[in-house]
């Protein structure tokens, strides 16, 4: 696996395309970050620090991979058989790999915290396991001088890392949706807000889950392929984008809850005593969902 695909187009072309997509994602992330600080100035300091950290990490990754891609292109452009020569273990490439793991762990931990605030289930173990395999892959790659040697020795680590990362994304998104669904109250407005939270959670979780699964299939079937680089390189900023998108959903949901219709006010008044506990439960659910770090 992998040797037949190690051509000039597959490696250098994939790296260039992936870095271009990562730069575009950084632009989206920059707009989201600027909007976040403007719209949510009263958020807790830890959340603001995490958002700033993710943006800084995304910018640093694009800079690192741009430098690494430049070295590859300028060094190997005229060599169409680079399997035994290409040395990807530059500090920029290794730093990029480690920062990718760090970004995914940060975002997954954020969502795990929200699950914990709703149910106290310890799903952080999946995040820690994928962090361990991602870090091991980076360290192991540093021990080999060429891409050929890395593929021979580290393929199983990469497959396991992609598999655990995809599993963690699916489990986190599924658990959040289930916990929110169980807290439906019967009040139309509260249930509508919860349904919207479920939709946003599924949408943001599905993006990273599908990308991780796609990368796993590509790597297991094709090895170090053009598509692996083109999609895998922008994966880290995509994680950050999903977290910022999730934070921004609070504006829509809170606006929906803030303007009750007359009919809903009458209905809520009639059901107030009968369903007081359920109504409180729904409010607690929404407050827990909005609570961040």
Q: What is the mean pLDDT of residues 150-173?
A: 79
Give SS3 for 69.
helix
pLDDT tens-place string over residues 94-120: 777 788 888 888 888 888 777 766 555
Cα angle 48, 21, 97 (rounded to 5 degrees) comes to 65
Cα angle 69, 74, 75 (rounded to 5 degrees) comes to 100
pLDDT tens-place string over residues 186-211: 667 677 777 777 777 777 777 888 88
pLDDT tens-place string over residues 176-187: 777 777 767 666
pLDDT computed for residue 8 by the predictor: 66
User: Contact 72/96 with Cβ under 8 angstroms?
Assistant: no
pLDDT computed for residue 89 by the predictor: 60
pLDDT tens-place string over residues 26-64: 999 999 999 999 988 888 898 999 999 999 999 998 998
| The CATH number, out of the four listed (1.10.1060, 1.10.10, 1.10.3470, 1.20.1070), of the domain defined by the range 3-258+282-290 | 1.20.1070
Share of the chain above pLDDT 90, in %: 13
Reported for 184-187, long-range contacts at CB under 8 A and 24+ positions apart, including other chains, are 184/282, 185/275, 185/278, 185/279, 185/281, 185/282, 186/271, 186/275, 186/278, 187/264, 187/267, 187/268, 187/271, 187/275, 187/278, 187/279, 187/282
Look up residue 291 and give its two tokens. 């609570």
């Amino acid at each position: 696996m992998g040797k037949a695909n190690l051509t000039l187009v597959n490696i250098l072309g994939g790296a260039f395309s992936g870095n271009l997509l990562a730069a575009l994602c950084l632009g989206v992330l920059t707009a989201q970050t600027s909007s976040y600080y403007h719209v949510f100035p009263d958020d807790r300091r830890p959340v603001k620090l995490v958002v700033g950290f993710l943006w800084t990490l995304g910018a640093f990754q694009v800079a690192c991979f741009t430098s690494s891609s430049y070295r590859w292109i300028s060094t190997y452009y005229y060599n169409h058989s680079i399997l035994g020569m290409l040395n990807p273990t530059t500090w920029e490439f290794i730093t990029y790999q480690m920062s990718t793991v760090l970004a995914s762990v940060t975002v997954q931990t954020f969502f795990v915290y929200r699950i914990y605030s709703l149910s106290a289930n310890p799903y952080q173990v999946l995040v820690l396991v994928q962090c361990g395999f991602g870090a091991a892959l980076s360290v192991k790659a540093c021990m080999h001088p060429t891409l050929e040697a890395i593929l021979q020795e580290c393929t199983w680590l990469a497959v396991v890392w992609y598999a655990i990362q995809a599993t963690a994304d699916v489990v986190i998104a599924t658990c959040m949706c289930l916990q929110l669904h169980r807290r439906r109250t019967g009040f139309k407005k509260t249930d509508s807000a919860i349904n919207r939270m479920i939709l946003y959670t599924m949408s943001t979780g599905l993006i990273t889950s599908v990308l991780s699964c796609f990368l796993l299939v590509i790597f297991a079937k094709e090895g170090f392929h053009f598509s692996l680089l083109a999609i895998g390189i922008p994966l880290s900023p995509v994680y950050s984008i999903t977290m910022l998108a999730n934070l921004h959903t609070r504006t829509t949901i809170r606006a929906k809850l803030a303007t009750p219709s007359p009919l809903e006010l009458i209905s809520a008044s009639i059901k107030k005593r009968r369903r007081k506990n359920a109504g409180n439960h729904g409010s607690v659910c929404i407050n827990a969902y909005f609570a961040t770090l």
